[in-house]
Amino acid sequence: MVSPDVARALIQQARHHHSDRLAGYAQEERAFNDDDKADASRPSFAAYATLQCGISHEKHMLSWCDWLLDRLSPASASSAAGSA
């Protein structure tokens, strides 16, 4: 088990990583035109659909990191200890 400070640092590092990946995916998404995004019969649609999966994953990971950081915050730890 690691200390809460070490855990927070690791999660903040992971959050930064996922934020960077999401920014990269957003840049890639801008390269697709409207037909690529809408027409499932185009070969480029498969790449766009896969990109959407990656975007969704990175958003989920950011949300999870935020959730976990909130739970690891000193204020959360002291309120949890007070309710025990």
pTM above 0.95, yes or no: no
- Distance CA(5)–CA(3), nearest Å, equals 5
69-81 in b/e burial notation, b at 16+ Cβ within 10 A? beebeeeeeeeee
**pLDDT tens digits along 35-82:** 989 999 999 999 999 999 999 999 999 999 999 999 998 877 666 666
Flag whether 44 is in a domain.
Answer: yes
The count of structural domains within the chain is 1
Q: What are phi and psi of 3, to 5 degrees?
A: -70, 155
Beta strands in 18-84, from DSSP E residues, in sequence order: none
Domain that holds residue 42: 22-71
Q: What is the pLDDT of residues 13-47, one digit of tens each?
A: 999 999 999 999 999 999 999 998 999 999 999 99
